[in-house]
């Protein structure tokens, strides 16, 4: 009996030690993942800062009205709210303007009226295979209007104050 208890206790201790080792491994993996995530975040931030610096230096640092006799003079710096007119002119020159006149204009063809024809005859349940259980079908009453009897296939539908829809009671 004691030997069995001792072996069970030893097995439980081994299992506990294995669980502790797994937990330690998972914690080490988590630390590595956190470090890797932090490195990626730092790289992302560095790239963002570099791209922002490049954008700032790109077009907005143009100097205007610099005197040719003073090469070190900076002149006026671009305003962020005004357009870069020299750049706009170069973009306009690169743009291809399509040439359209009445001879190349495509003819507008009216759509066929067949698409818009519709049969306004009502479609009844038997035609489409819809079957209505008249014993379980009712008309919801409205407190603002008097009930109007509705008859379908010689069956007058019952006027009800409440019904169950998807397991919920709906009342008027």
The per-residue pLDDT for range 24-50, each reduced to its tens digit, is 999 999 999 999 999 999 998 888 888
- Mean pLDDT, to the nearest integer, of 57-64? 51
Q: Collect all residues with Cβ–Cβ distance below 8 Å to 151 and sequence separation of at least 6.
A: 157
Q: Is residue 85 a part of any domain in this protein?
A: no
Q: What is the pLDDT of residue 134?
A: 73
Q: Is residue 69 a part of any domain in this protein?
A: no
DSSP lists the bridge partners of residue 151 as 156
| CB 77, CB 56: distance < 8 Å | no
The alpha carbons of the chain give a radius of gyration, in whole angstroms, of: 41
Tokens of 146: 């008097």
Domain end among 38, 60, 82 = 60
Domain end among 30, 60, 90 = 60
Q: What is the pLDDT of residue 36?
A: 93
Can you point out the beta strands (E) in 33-96?
63-64, 76-77
Name the domain count of the chain.
2
Q: Is residue 75 a part of any domain in this protein?
A: no
Q: Is residue 7 a part of any domain in this protein?
A: yes
Domain end among 36, 60, 84 = 60
CA 42 from chain centre, in angstroms, equals: 28
**pLDDT: which is higher, 43 or 167:** 43
Q: Which residue has the tokens 């008097």?
A: 146
**pLDDT: which is higher, 110 or 45:** 45
Q: Could you tell me the pLDDT band of residue 156, with boundaries at 50, 70 and 90?
A: confident
Q: What is the pLDDT of residue 66?
A: 47
Q: What is the pLDDT of residue 14?
A: 94
pLDDT at residue 127 above 50?
yes
- Mean pLDDT, to the nearest integer, of 72-93? 62
Q: Is residue 28 a part of any domain in this protein?
A: yes
| CB 71, CB 80: distance < 8 Å | no
Q: Of all residues in the chain, what percent are helix, strand and coil, respectively (each to 5)? A: 45, 15, 45
Q: What are phi and psi of 107, to 5 degrees?
A: -75, 135
Q: Is residue 110 a part of any domain in this protein?
A: no
42 lies in which domain range? 2-60
């Amino acid at each position: 009996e004691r030997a069995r208890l001792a072996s069970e206790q030893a097995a439980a201790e081994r299992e506990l030690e294995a669980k502790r080792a797994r937990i330690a491994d998972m914690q080490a993996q988590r630390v590595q993942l956190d470090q890797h995530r932090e490195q990626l975040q730092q790289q992302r931030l560095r790239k963002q800062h570099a791209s922002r610096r490049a954008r700032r230096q790109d077009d907005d640092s143009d100097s205007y009205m610099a005197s040719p006799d003073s090469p070190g003079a900076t002149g006026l710096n671009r305003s962020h709210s005004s357009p870069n007119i020299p750049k706009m002119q170069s973009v306009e020159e690169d743009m291809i303007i399509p040439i359209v006149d009445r001879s190349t204009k495509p003819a507008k063809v009216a759509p066929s009226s067949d698409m818009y024809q519709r049969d306004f005859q009502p479609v009844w349940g038997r035609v489409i295979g819809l079957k209505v259980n008249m014993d379980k079908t009712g008309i919801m009453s409205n407190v603002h209007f008097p009930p109007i009897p509705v008859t379908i296939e010689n069956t007058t539908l019952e006027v009800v104050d409440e019904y169950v829809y998807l397991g919920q009671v709906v009342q008027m």
